[in-house]
Amino acid sequence: MVKKVFIVPHTHWDREWFFTSSTAKIYLLKDLKDVIDCLANDIKYHSFLLDGQASLIEDYLKWRPQDMDRVKKLVKNKRLILGPWYTQTDQFMVSAESIVNNLRIGMQECDKLGGYMNIAYVPDSFGQESSMPQIYREFDIHDAVLYRGFSLSSASKSEFIWQGEDGSEVTVYRMACGYFIGGVIDETKLAELMTEEPFKTVTLTATTNNLLFPNGSDMAPIRFDLPKFTSKLNHANAGKFIFKVASLEEYIKAVRQQNPLLKRISGEQDCGKDMRVHKSIYSSRADIKQLNTKLQFYLSNIMEPILTLGNYFGFEYPEQTVNDIWKKMFKNAAHDSMGNCVSDRVNEDIEMRYKEIQDFATGLVELTMREISTRIKNANHPITLTVFNSMPVIRNEVLHYTLYSPSRTFSIRDIQGSNIQFEITNIKDVTKKITDATIQLDPGKQIYHPQKVYQIDLDIECTQIPSFGYKQLYLSVLPDKECRLKRMVEGKMIENEFYRIEVNDDGSLNILDKSNQYLYQNQAILEENGDDGDSYNYSPPGKDMHIFSTQQSYKVYQYLGKLKNQLIINFNFKIPSNLTKRAQKVADTTMPVSLEVTLTKNSKIIAFKINVDNRKSKSHRLCINFDSEIVTKTSIADMQFGTVKRQVVKEKELTLWRQETDKWQEMPISINTMQSFVAISNNTRCMAVIPQGVREYECIGKNHSIMRLTIFRTYGMLGKKNLLYRPGRASGDETVVTPQAQLQKKLSFEFALKTLATTYDQSSLANEVKQWDTPLQIYEYAEFLNGRLTFPFNPVKRKYQEELSLFKLESNLVTSTIKTVPGTKSYEIRLYNPLFHEVGGKIVFTQTPKLVKLVNLKGVGQSELLIENNQVVLPKLKHAKFITVYCQF
């Protein structure tokens, strides 16, 4: 039977790699102009796929707006094919809301030009995360053209059904041998083309007589003579193959018409047998990974909800500003940029984008909190502290905050007059800095001008903060006098209501969980070893040297207080300075490490901070180990919308690796990532690690009960060949040195630990972690602070109530985000089930909404929810399911 070969012309455009995005943009102008000219002038040239990412055409038209009409005509006629993404995102390291907004904004930008390709096209991202089928379906996408992560051993055919963690399904049309196979063709062998590799595999793995022939490669220009080349192929393969320049939509339609019987596969797809997925890229450039972790939490957990509170009070939702912030995140989320498998120059650009995002986002939040808090009635209190809660649950937390006071002694009270407990940790006189810069728009108005101003760091206990709302507090000045601050003293033990922690003689920790009196011994052991890898993969050196904190000298101190107790363990690590010294077993340099352990009043989470002076060593890795003392075959990690159980060891794959290493692109290691926590659980206990920097872990030890969290790793090359974990050719470019990736500077990383006297599935761990990653926000206002610290505003009327809650969630469902529907006074609350059984619940409103309904990710209504007594009952969600609740006021 004659087979049809669908030639799909495309380019895979890395926005930045070893070249910068600025350089790439210049070449994009040239290459994309060639595409537009060719399509406009050659009607025989069917179409061109612009890599599925709208950011490329946006960049082009910003500098060549004169081509707008031509582009719109080509897009409308499906000649220039755009979207649906904004950028080609990584899937494992970015947040759920980042992925959702990437598709949402990508589709919006394409619609402005005439429409988008309604196919999930992901040619090069390093594996496929198992929330994706549900996300695609919620955007009304049913088909996906994918590449990396799918193994031929689990999916022997190119077309199959992929079922996500929640059970949602999409039809996958895998590019069997990659997106680049048609980029370079030996035109002297056209008759043999389809019978030799890689096209032989393409032919053999197809379920129908329709074959996909992607014609393009990395940053490839359009092939002007493709119609003529297609004629040559047809002539050389007459009677066997018919070649046709086409779109992905036409290829998929042809496959569907033959109605093949498709195999079903399920779960996340991260196998490196047939193509590389770079399983340990999660820890490349730990300093930048940390910025991503903190900012993606901030945008979804704090910025969007706080802006929604502002919208409730009538402040305009800054849609374009928010979209621009997300677009910067998406540029950093592109698979190479997120992996940080790029040159030092590019990493500098990525870091600068994160800094811009941080300034924009925190500025929006600060402005919105100020707009609200300055309008709250305060009975003539000159200094107010407004505590904002961006989660739909009542909160009781101890926060660390910096405020400005006219006196070193003062009280803080709520509207009922109850004293708020706090402890001062540091005081600095900033009188000249503040008072000399105070700006008063009406100099004749009487305002509070203090003679002294102190910058005061303190721990403050915030109690009964209303769900998704705020509570105003008042600072009252007392006669100024010296304050006694907490002092560091020698000591090896701290405790609170839930834990007692002691430092052992070897520097490890014993942690007593008071809820079940279980003693976790020899915890928080730091482990240092070599890294002979590159920007894509960690790989141990052939001759390694593992060094543990239990082998090092140390000193331990403690701070004791009413709200927080802290241990500080200072290690003086002796380690090799480079891989040569490591191979010789010579520890010729020092690496000072400070481990801070903090217990907070009423908190069931143990906070950790690691400070490292890494200025003297290269090509190594630092991890910290926690032993759950639980024997299990799986870990539990959260993903974009839910949780997934992973094998602690890929036993079957490792056996095959050992038998036929030459047939694998990468060793099947069990180094994995998570969104916010990883846990090990049995029927009676559970332990969880909660990173806020690098989110990479591995389960190790005799019974794989130890969770090893990567703190950082360092290396000096973009790409290297013949790694232990990745044999063969180099990934990327082995000529590009990356000295900045050695991170030879002082580093600081935070994470946390939690133990439970229950199984994971009976716990509220996911919600507790969500709160940990979503701290309460405090805004201090006093007129004398206008100038140096805040911009001066015109006076406003104070009319808002002192406490407010819009609604609360009564459920074990986790809130992904709360956001405004632009141009309306309507909100979307996205919720998901983190547990392995069905979960329901309800939302209780303080003001009756006009309408509550479920919508998909495009905002299209699915079903209306009954409002009764200011409450709506939520449907029960299966494991890893999410819903979007639309509320109109």
C-alpha to C-alpha distance for 71 and 61, rounded to whole angstroms = 9
The CA-atom distances, in angstroms, between 797 and each of 372, 375, 707, 793, 794 are 11, 6, 54, 12, 10
Q: In a 3-state reduction of DSSP, which class is residue 27?
A: helix
Cα–Cα nearest to 556, from 626, 509, 486, 620:
509
Residue numbers in the chain where pLDDT is lower than 70: 441, 444
The CA-atom distances, in angstroms, between 641 and each of 78, 150, 253, 859 are 33, 21, 31, 18
Cα–Cα nearest to 174, from 265, 237, 106:
265
C-alpha to C-alpha distance for 697 and 760, rounded to whole angstroms = 18
C-alpha to C-alpha distance for 18 and 128, rounded to whole angstroms = 24
Please name each of the domains of the chain with its CATH number.
3-257 (3.20.110.10), 283-373 (1.20.1270.50), 384-485+779-803 (2.60.40), 489-763 (2.70.98.30), 806-888 (2.60.40)
Cα–Cα nearest to 166, from 884, 878, 887:
878
Cα–Cα nearest to 129, from 142, 152, 117, 146:
146
Provide the residue type at 841 as one letter.
Answer: G
Q: What is the pLDDT of residue 862?
A: 86
pTM for this prediction:
0.97
C-alpha to C-alpha distance for 689 and 420, rounded to whole angstroms = 31
The CA-atom distances, in angstroms, between 695 and each of 82, 430, 671, 698, 781 are 33, 38, 10, 11, 36
Q: What is the pLDDT of residue 417?
A: 92
Q: Can you list the positions of beta strands (E) in 728-836?
A: 746-756, 777-781, 803-805, 807-811, 814-820, 826-832
CB 72 within 8 A of CB 39: no
Q: How many CB atoms lie under 10 A from the CB of residue 173?
A: 23
Which class for 456: exposed (0-12), middle (13-18), buried (19 or more C-beta within 10 A)? buried
